Amino acid sequence: MKKHFINTPKDRQTQRKFYSEVEKAIKRTLAYRSIFNYPLNYYQLSTYLITGKKIGNKALRKGLKKLEKKGHIKFENNLYSLSGVKNVNWEERKNSSISLINVHKYIFDSLKKVPWIKFIGVTGATAAFNAHDNDDIDVFIISQKNRLWITRLFVTMILKSLNKYRTDKNPIQKICPNIFIDENKMEWDKDKRSLYVAHEILMMHPVCDKQETYFRFVKNNSWIFDHLSNCRMDISNINIELGNSNSGFLVNIIEKILMNVQLMYMRRKITEEIATKNIIHFNKNDWSYKVLKDYSNILKKFNFEI
């Protein structure tokens, strides 16, 4: 995959401006992660750098050294963070996250067998390698077009039969399928797009991916690279067109019945949830507003520019 980075300018004035932008990108990135008290190794920092343009290794390393020398950031145990931030145990959180995914492989293998599932991705703290041993696991599911509600029914039945369906009373190490979309709803709504969502999409850990569905999803949401340009990938050859995959008159009828029945049941309990023909989003514990507000406050506190 060919990468195009912005080149270091030759004249001094432009060079100073360039490195100033590099330093701002580093500070933005570490400010965002400080919300979670989570330090970053070099690979994580480089990959999830909050920048509108790709920044290469040479410029990034120079920017890191300058900020460390100024005392704006610290580098301990091969991890970067803002100075003054008390960090979590990075190694411990990483191991807990990997363990959670590995221990639940049999669950994901069971869900893969649902014929209408095209993609399953672990999201949230576990995908970010920042989970505790007893955390629940958030998952994002993409179904075949017009098979959203029958997919949700099968997923729920499988998780409940294996005693792994997350409830408020019993969340420990349970699976929380909090977002379902179908192939007709790949593109994120414009009014819901944010730095937070961009992170969630690009940090997602696929555990089931059929027919390059993840890359098709990313291609439909190329706006995410406006926030995290160092993550930009070559997906130009990925076909986002849907095939004629919905055969079965009987299944079409069942899908409509299941949607109406489940919506009728859910409407009694719905607060902030979104439930339509093409998307189910249980955003009861949606952290996006709080995270983005905290991020803005940290930028102001440290006098960082966005």
In this predicted structure, the answer to whether residue 3 has a pLDDT above a threshold of 70 is: no
**For residue 63, how many other CB atoms are within 10 A of its CB?**
23
Per-residue pLDDT tens digits for 25-80:
999 999 999 999 999 999 999 999 999 999 999 999 999 999 999 999 999 999 99
pLDDT confidence tier of residue 2, bands split at 50, 70 and 90 = very low
Is 106 found in the same domain as 57? Answer: no
Per-residue pLDDT tens digits for 152-197:
999 999 999 999 999 989 999 999 999 999 999 999 999 999 999 9
**Average pLDDT over every residue of 137-154:** 96
Is 101 found in the same domain as 75? Answer: no
Tell me, what CATH number does 54's domain have?
1.10.10.10
Is 146 found in the same domain as 109? Answer: yes
Residue 263 lies in a domain: yes
pLDDT confidence tier of residue 295, bands split at 50, 70 and 90 = very high
Is 275 found in the same domain as 181? Answer: yes
Number of domains the chain is built from:
2
End-of-domain residue from the set 88, 116, 131 = 88
Is 156 found in the same domain as 194? Answer: yes
Residue 296 lies in a domain: no
Is 139 found in the same domain as 174? Answer: yes
**Average pLDDT over every residue of 249-259:** 92
Mean pLDDT over each residue of the chain, to the nearest integer: 91
Is 143 found in the same domain as 61? Answer: no
Whether the pTM exceeds 0.95: the reply is: no
User: Percent of the chain scored above 90 by pLDDT?
Assistant: 77
* Greatest pairwise CA separation for the chain in angstroms: 70
Is 275 found in the same domain as 127? Answer: yes
pLDDT confidence tier of residue 1, bands split at 50, 70 and 90 = very low
Is 76 found in the same domain as 124? Answer: no
Residue 302 lies in a domain: no
Is 159 found in the same domain as 56? Answer: no
Residue 294 lies in a domain: no
Is 115 found in the same domain as 78? Answer: no
End-of-domain residue from the set 26, 61, 88 = 88
Instruction: Give the domain extent around 68.
Output: 12-88
Is 274 found in the same domain as 158? Answer: yes
pLDDT confidence tier of residue 237, bands split at 50, 70 and 90 = confident
**Which has more pLDDT, 302 or 155?**
155
Residue 252 lies in a domain: yes
**Average pLDDT over every residue of 288-300:** 94
Residue 292 lies in a domain: no
Per-residue pLDDT tens digits for 88-137:
999 999 999 999 999 999 999 999 999 999 999 999 999 999 999 999 99
